[in-house]
C-alpha cells in the first residue's frame, strides 16, 4: 500500500513557525536521551538508493504517512531547540506530496552532525547560504558566481513533485565529486526512478525521526510500533483514507 495524502481542513504548514526564534519560549521540559538501540551507525551514513526497505523504515513511514495524531506535535527537535518540525509538516514526505522546506532543514541538521565526523569538504554542502549565515569573507563574491546546472543522468522533465527528495538525496550523498563522475544511485527518469524516489521518502523519514540529533526518537519509534500492531483491516482503512485525502490536501496548500 502507498500511505499518502492529507487531512481535510488541516492547518497550512507554511504558516507554522518551525524555529525557536519564531515563537514564544517553550516551557522547560525534560529531554530524554534516546536509547542506544536507536543510535545505529546506519543513521550516520549516506542514504542508499534501493528498492527495498528495512522493517523500521516501513513502520516509520507508514506511521507518519497515515496522517494520524496531533498535527502540531513536535516530531523532530534538536537539543538546542533551534530547529524543530511538527507532524503536519513532516507528513509532506508522504509519496505524492511536495516536501516542505522545513523537512529539508531537518535532514540538513542530521547531515551537519554527520559531516563533522568525516573528512571532506563540509563547507560546500552549505553554499551559498552557509557562507552568509557564518559571515564568511568570500560570501559576497560567491553570490556573484553564475550557477551552472550540472547535466546529471537522473535529471527529469516530467516530475515536479519530487524536487525536495532530489535535494535531500543530493545533500546526503554529494562528497565533492565532479558532476560527470558523481553517481548517487538513481536511474534515469522512468517508472523505476519513481519507485526509487518513493522508497527514499520512507528512508529519509526514518533517518530524520530516529537520528540522534532528534530528542524524540524513542517516542516516534514507539508510535510506529503501536500503529504497526493495529489489526490489518483497521490499518488498511486508515491508509486508504490518507490516500483519498491526498489531492484535497494539495489543493488546500
Q: Contact 59/224 with Cβ under 8 angstroms?
A: yes
Which residue has better confidence, 211 or 128? Answer: 211
> Does residue 12 belong to any structural domain of this protein?
no
Label residue 32 by pLDDT band (50, 70, 90): very low
Which is more confident, 139 or 187? Answer: 187
Which residue range(s) make up the domain with 239?
49-116+124-146+154-251
How many CB atoms sit inside 10 A of residue 56's CB? 18
8 A C-beta contact, residue 87 and residue 64: yes
Q: Per the domain annotation, does 134 fall within a domain?
A: yes
Per-residue confidence (pLDDT) for residue 194, from 0 to 100:
95
What is the reported pTM?
0.70
User: 92 near 252, Cβ under 8 Å?
Assistant: no
Asked whether residue 40 is assigned to any structural domain, the reply reads no
CA gap 64, 54 in Å, rounded: 16
Identify the pLDDT of residue 134.
56
pLDDT band at 219 (very low <50, low <70, confident <90, very high): very high
Q: Is the pLDDT at 236 greater than 80, yes or no?
A: yes
DSSP one-letter code for 51: S
Between 1-5, 43-47, 194-198, 233-237, the lowest mean confidence (pLDDT) is in: 1-5
Residue in the structure block whose three cell numbers are 549565515: 133
Distance CA 85, CA 91 (A): 10
To the nearest 5 percent, what fractions of the chain are helix, strand and coil? 50, 5, 45
216 versus 10: which is more confidently predicted?
Answer: 216
- Cβ atoms of 65 and 206 within 8 Å: the answer is no
Q: What is the pLDDT of residue 20?
A: 46
Residue pLDDT, tens place only, 94-140 = 998 999 999 999 998 887 654 433 333 333 444 555 565 556 666 67
What's the rounded Cα separation, in Å, for the pair 106 and 113?
11
45-98 pLDDT tens trace: 678 788 888 999 999 999 998 888 888 999 999 988 889 999 999 999 999 899
Q: Which of 233, 107, 239 is nearest to 164 (CA)?
A: 107
C-alpha count within 13 angstroms, C-beta hemisphere, residue 158: 6
pLDDT, position 82: 86
Does the residue 9 lie in any domain? no
pLDDT at 83: 93
Q: What is the mean pLDDT of residues 247-251?
A: 51
**Amino acid 188: pLDDT:** 93
- In the prediction, which pLDDT does 248 show? 58
pLDDT above 90 covers what percent of the chain?
A: 38
Kindly state the helix (H) or strand (E) to which residue 77 belongs, with its residue range: strand 74-77
Residue 241 lies in a domain: yes
All residues at 6 or more sequence positions from 117 whose CB lies less than 8 Å from its CB, including other chains? 44
Residue at 139 is within a domain: yes
- Is the separation of the CB atoms in 43 and 53 below 8 Å? no
Chain mean pLDDT for the chain: 75
Q: How many domains does the chain have?
A: 1
Looking at the domain assignment, is residue 218 inside a domain?
yes
| pLDDT band at residue 253 under the 50/70/90 scheme | very low
Query: Mean of the pLDDT values across residues 203-225?
Result: 93
Determine, yes or no, domain membership for 168. yes
Amino acid at each position: 500500500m502507498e500511505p499518502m495524502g492529507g487531512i481535510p481542513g488541516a492547518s497550512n504548514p507554511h504558516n507554522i513557525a518551525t524555529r525557536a526564534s519564531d515563537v514564544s519560549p517553550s516551557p522547560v521540559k525534560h529531554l530524554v536521551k534516546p536509547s542506544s538501540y536507536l543510535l545505529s551507525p546506519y543513521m550516520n551514513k549516506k542514504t542508499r538508493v534501493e528498492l527495498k526497505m528495512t522493517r523500521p523504515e516501513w513502520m516509520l513511514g507508514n506511521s507518519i504517512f497515515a496522517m494520524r495524531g496531533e498535527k502540531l506535535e513536535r516530531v523532530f527537535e534538536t537539543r538546542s531547540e533551534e530547529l524543530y518540525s511538527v507532524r503536519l509538516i513532516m507528513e509532506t514526505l508522504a509519496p505524492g506530496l511536495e516536501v516542505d522546506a522545513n523537512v529539508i532543514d531537518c535532514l540538513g541538521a542530521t547531515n551537519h552532525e554527520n559531516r563533522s565526523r568525516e573528512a571532506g569538504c563540509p563547507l560546500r554542502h552549505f553554499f551559498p547560504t552557509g557562507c552568509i549565515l557564518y559571515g564568511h569573507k568570500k560570501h559576497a563574491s560567491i553570490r556573484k558566481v553564475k550557477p551552472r546546472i550540472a547535466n546529471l543522468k537522473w535529471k527529469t522533465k516530467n516530475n515536479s513533485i519530487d524536487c525536495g527528495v532530489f535535494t535531500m538525496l543530493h545533500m546526503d550523498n554529494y562528497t565533492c565529486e565532479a558532476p560527470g563522475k558523481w553517481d548517487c544511485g538513481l536511474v534515469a527518469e522512468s517508472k523505476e526512478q519513481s519507485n526509487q524516489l518513493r522508497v527514499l521518502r520512507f528512508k529519509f523519514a526514518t533517518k530524520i525521526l530516529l537520528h540522534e540529533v532528534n530528542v524524540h526518537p524513542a517516542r516516534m519509534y514507539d508510535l510506529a510500533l503501536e500503529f504497526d500492531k493495529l489489526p490489518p483491516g483497521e490499518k488498511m482503512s486508515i491508509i486508504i483514507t490518507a490516500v483519498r485525502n491526498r489531492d484535497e490536501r494539495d489543493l488546500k496548500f
